[in-house]
């Protein structure tokens, strides 16, 4: 279902061997606000759920990592954004390819894991990058 939606939105395409090719220029749908809002909501929900899971000390903890720096120049932030996009896309492509292979295997065997229950699970792996002026330098009234 997700792949069909990605294909519809232009986030991914299939090559001549039906291999999924993600749009490396952006992983944000270009079709319109509704599609963007849909994916934003899914990502936000799952990120908050992972954080809540960890705050409540549930086991095993879910991956939720951030790299945060301040006192950077605009040029440094631009360089880091390019690096984050490059490495982020590599990670998304690798996880996507493995997830697709596992999904196909699991559908064929009608179980999600031979040692676990036969229930069906979902997962979400996402990456984002954000930057802004430090609060003490912001003059925009929208930033307080």
pLDDT tens readout for residues 28-44 = 555 678 888 888 888 99
Output the pLDDT for position 114.
57
Is the full-model pTM beyond 0.75? no
Residue 58 — pLDDT band, cuts 50, 70, 90? very high
Output the pLDDT for position 26.
46
**In terms of C-beta density within 10 A (0-12 exposed, 13-18 middle, 19 or more buried), how is residue 29 classed?**
buried
Q: What is the mean pLDDT of residues 76-88?
A: 96
1 and 23 Cβ atoms separated by less than 8 Å = no
Take residue 67 and report the two structure tokens written for it.
């790299």
């Amino acid at each position: 279902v997700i792949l069909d939606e990605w294909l519809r939105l232009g986030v991914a395409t299939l090559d001549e061997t039906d291999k999924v090719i993600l749009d490396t220029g952006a992983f944000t749908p270009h079709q319109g606000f509704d599609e963007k809002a849909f994916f934003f909501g899914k990502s936000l929900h799952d990120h908050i759920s992972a954080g809540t899971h960890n705050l409540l000390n549930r086991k095993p903890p879910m991956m939720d990592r951030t790299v945060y720096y301040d006192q950077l120049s605009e040029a440094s932030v631009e360089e880091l954004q390019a690096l984050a996009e490059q490495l982020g896309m590599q990670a998304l492509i690798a996880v996507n390819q493995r997830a697709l292979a596992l999904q196909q295997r699991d559908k064929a065997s009608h179980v999600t894991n031979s040692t676990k229950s036969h229930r069906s699970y979902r997962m979400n792996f996402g990456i984002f990058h954000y930057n802004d002026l430090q609060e003490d330098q912001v003059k925009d009234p929208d930033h307080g």
